[in-house]
Structure 1
């Protein structure tokens, strides 16, 4: 089954970002993909939270989400909308991922669990938790390419989440991201390949890439990794659409050779002596 990854350089204008998503979804369907994957914060990237607030809406009122749902229905393709900034009822924001089917219906939602609060050696400082609330639920969604475990960006560094998703039946792990360039060049490929190998899952990681209007720089390199750890697609640093083939039988094949899921044991309390 063919999938498409949309590598974006999202900016501060949600209408422009929505148009890019619609174009990518239509092109993905026209080129035979059964499902398209978009990156984290596909609808808006703006580190100026005062300015961004005017463009962040409740899910029912979000124009980018509505546009993507319409595009999916028109093209007859499933979409894993990497994430959008969504206004919650309590006033905080959620970094929320969506699975949208070929009729435009929302099949699953996932709010990012692990929030990016770091100080990098380059001087970059990020405090995602200052505005966003963490998610509380791990989600596996049935899709045309197999049971798909949902996660977002910084979640990648917490392997217990992916072990749980695989144990719950995930065959594909979706990891949309907006990785910074320093962390991306150091860790992106090795972490994505590790998550594939240790779970026996395909990993699909659509990413933001390039210089954004708000001044940040993202790493790109949207990847598809097979359950053996082989990189099937690496989109480099350019914006655009990439394609890869997903064979669900590959999951069963790899897991039969190295059955890590059936061998996994609960770790007992650790004694420090």
Structure 2
């Protein structure tokens, strides 16, 4: 899908979804968008933070989490393979190998190639703890372990991707480090709340 005349830029797709606690419904919505993007010739599809689900509370968020070897990631692997596209899965609720001892998850940006292989994972290092009086309170650190390292940029048809997630945007050092490591595209898949989104984005 990426072959073409020299200088032709690859087609990328950015999918916007509103996730719920219903993982099946979320997968159906995301899969429809990925298939449509592939039909239109996209070589890589970017899904947002929380593409797998957004829990109603901390207890539900932890209960719904899976490992990278679980059902949901397996289904996205099959989707990438079936559609022949790269998938940037930003913000997967990952139960890591330390789940049994910590009972905390990781906010994981996973990258799949067109064979469905997991080629890179980045765990969000800067967790979002924010309190806007009367509007929104969020304490990601109460149920999420921070990642401990930056991941080397990955070569894709869209260029060398630097993986990060949402709140990492506020810390320019990670962008500088990724750029110095050769990143050509910096990714910040995000699931903003309405108040914080309104304060940051213009459409």
Q: CA deviation at 1:122?
A: 3.5
Q: How does 1:98-113 map to 2 (within 5 A)?
A: 98-113=110-125
Partner in structure 2 of residue 4 of structure 1 = 13
Matches within 5 A, 1:1-273: 1-61=10-70, 63-91=71-99, 92-139=104-151, 140-188=153-201, 236=203
Q: Is residue 40–residue 153 contact of structure 1 (8 Å, CA) maintained in 2?
A: yes
SS in structure 1 opposite 2:133?
A: coil
CA drift of 1:123 comes to 3.4
Q: Unmatched 5+ residue regions in structure 1?
A: 190-235, 237-273
Which one has the largest radius of gyration?
1
SS of 1:15's equivalent in the other structure is helix
2-structure distance, mates of 1:188, 1:122: 21
Q: d(CA) in 2 for partners of 1:52 and 1:121?
A: 23
CA distance in 2, matches of 1:51, 1:83: 16
Q: CA RMSD in A?
A: 1.3
- 1:57: Cα distance to partner? 1.5
Contact between 1:22 and 1:67, CA under 8 Å: does it hold in 2?
no
Between the aligned partners of 2:31 and 2:78, the Cα distance in structure 1 is 9
How many residue pairs align between the two structures?
A: 189
**Aligned to 1:125, what secondary structure does the other structure show?**
strand
Where relative contact order (Cα < 8 A, 6+ residues apart) is larger, the structure is 1
Contact 2:21 2:56 in 1 (8 A): no
Normalized against structure 1, the TM-score is what? 0.67
| Alpha-carbon displacement from aligned partner over 1:6-60 (angstroms, at most 9, x marks no partner) | 1000000111111112111111110011100000010010141222333211221
1:261 aligns with none
Q: Which has a greater percent of strand?
A: 1
Question: TM (normalized to structure 2)?
Answer: 0.89
Work out the CA distance in 2 between the residues paired with 1:50 and 1:177: 21
C-alpha contact 2:26 2:53 (8 A) present in aligned 1: yes
SS at match of 1:59: coil
